[in-house]
Amino acid sequence: MANDRDRAEISGNEGFDKFKSMELPRLVVVGNDALERTGKTCIELKLEGNALIVCDPTTRKIAGDRIGELLEDIDISFEILEITEASQDAVDEVVETGNDRFEFLLGVGGGVPIDVAKYSSHLLGAPFVSVPTAASHDGIASGRASIDRNGNKVSVSAHTPIALIADTGIIANGPARLLASGCADIIANATAVKDWILAKKLRNEPYSHYAANLSEMTAYSLIENSDTIKPGLEESAWMVVKALVSSSVAMSIAGSSRPASGSEHKFSHSLDRLVEKPALHGEQCGVGTIIMMYLHGGDWKQIKSALQTVGAPTTARGLDQEEEDILEALVRAPEIRPERYTILGNKRMNRKAAESAARETGVI
């Protein structure tokens, strides 16, 4: 029951100074043959004029060329730009190509074309439509992009896509490894939320129950249904895409990546910096989640078993990395985004403790 003070505040709005602005996709089109609805989606969103389709050589064949035909059908002219890396140079190329010539952009692909189109459209001030051909990470519907600057991956703020068109047939037919990696990126929410709660308790960090619960629920609904994730099944692609969208919505509500990115992501980014050939983002985050759940004193065996069931790696060998690099990445992980407080604290991790966590969980 509200006390007198609460009542006064409610009636007079005294002391209420909260404000929030959330950017969410306007249309989420997901399911069987969703790609064929590209034209209809553009009409509904009143997207007109010239479109720039950003893809890579593979995703051009899978979906890019078909999108061009579908746009032609509704009298939208287009150009296709192929890029091969999510680098600042690729972004500069898209921005230069796009300057004043295109009313909107479509990013067609796994991570790379979507990251580049998302960030470029933000710089150009043009709407962006996300067309994932794989469900390998939660960037498909989020407002952040991962861009390589001088060999370092940085997470930059960009637009949330105005629409997401996720064709479950295309995604299900993609490499099984990508879908498993997407699952692992969702499972990572389990420790990201634990880190967030810790930061709220120890640092009085802003915290949203709503965003945290949504993110955690998304992770556990996948963990509990991990045995239904099978490569080649559209139903599985459907579940993973829905979970990735929920994850992005949780980030939009929080106004940051906090609900989906904690110590396990620091470990993954730390490994990216350290080794020449990192594994996939989601795969590394999944292994990080096992270790971080162990450090949190939570049920890391449940995490490990869910990752195994969806076919994601759970060991250094599974990531195709040297044990030594895994340990060094753990030791240095707190140096990534030090302002984001997690179970790792903000000093380098003790080497012996890192080794013991990795051994106890069977990662090394």
Binding segment for Zn ion (CB under 5 A), chosen from 128-136, 185-193, 223-231, 319-327, is 185-193
The answer to whether residues 286 and 188 touch, using CB atoms and an 8 Å cutoff, is yes
Binding segment for Zn ion (CB under 5 A), chosen from 127-135, 161-169, 182-190, 321-329, is 182-190
Which residue number, 38 or 268, has a Cβ lying nearer to Zn ion?
268
Nearest CA-CA partner of 48 in 37, 39, 59: 39
Q: Which two structure tokens, joined as six digits, stand for 116?
A: 């580049």
CA 116 to CA 325: how far, in whole Å?
A: 29
Which residue number, 153 or 348, has a Cβ lying nearer to Zn ion?
153
Binding to Zn ion by residue 283, rule CB under 5 A? no
CA 129 to CA 198: how far, in whole Å?
A: 35
Q: Total residues at the site for Zn ion (CB under 5 A)?
A: 1
* DSSP state string for 306-345: HHHHHT---STTTTT--HHHHHHHHHHGGGSSTTS--TTT
Distant-in-sequence, close-in-space partners of 48: CB < 8 Å, separation ≥ 6 = 42, 76, 103
**Closest distance to Zn ion from the beta carbon of 24 (Å):** 19
Q: Which two structure tokens, joined as six digits, stand for 90?
A: 């690729």
Q: Which two structure tokens, joined as six digits, stand for 299?
A: 């049920």
**Closest distance to Zn ion from the beta carbon of 332 (Å):** 18
Among 148, 167, 185, 272, binds Zn ion (CB under 5 A): 185
Question: Whose CB is nearest to Zn ion?
Answer: 185
Q: Which of residues 232-251 bind Zn ion (CB under 5 A)?
A: none
Which residue number, 79 or 220, has a Cβ lying nearer to Zn ion?
220
The letter for the amino acid at 341 is Y
**Closest distance to Zn ion from the beta carbon of 248 (Å):** 11
3-state secondary structure of 27: strand
**Closest distance to Zn ion from the beta carbon of 142 (Å):** 9
Nearest CA-CA partner of 261 in 240, 292, 225: 292
**Closest distance to Zn ion from the beta carbon of 138 (Å):** 5
Which residue number, 107 or 182, has a Cβ lying nearer to Zn ion?
182
Angstrom CA distances, 168 to 93, 121, 164, 174, 360, stand at 30, 25, 12, 10, 38
Binding segment for Zn ion (CB under 5 A), chosen from 31-39, 110-118, 183-191, 286-294, is 183-191
**Closest distance to Zn ion from the beta carbon of 213 (Å):** 19
**Closest distance to Zn ion from the beta carbon of 181 (Å):** 10
Describe the crossing of helices 88-98 and 111-124 by its angle, rounded to 10 degrees: 50
Nearest CA-CA partner of 87 in 35, 21, 153: 153
Pairing of strands 152-157, 163-167: unpaired
**Closest distance to Zn ion from the beta carbon of 70 (Å):** 30
Q: How far is CA 181 from the centre of its chain?
A: 11
Which residue number, 35 or 287, has a Cβ lying nearer to Zn ion?
287
3-state secondary structure of 2: coil
Which residue number, 167 or 272, has a Cβ lying nearer to Zn ion?
272
Which residue number, 56 or 185, has a Cβ lying nearer to Zn ion?
185
Which residue number, 47 or 166, has a Cβ lying nearer to Zn ion?
166
Which residue number, 71 or 188, has a Cβ lying nearer to Zn ion?
188
Binding segment for Zn ion (CB under 5 A), chosen from 39-47, 162-170, 184-192, 214-222, is 184-192
Binding to Zn ion by residue 264, rule CB under 5 A? no
* Footprint on this chain of Zn ion (rule: CB under 5 A): 185
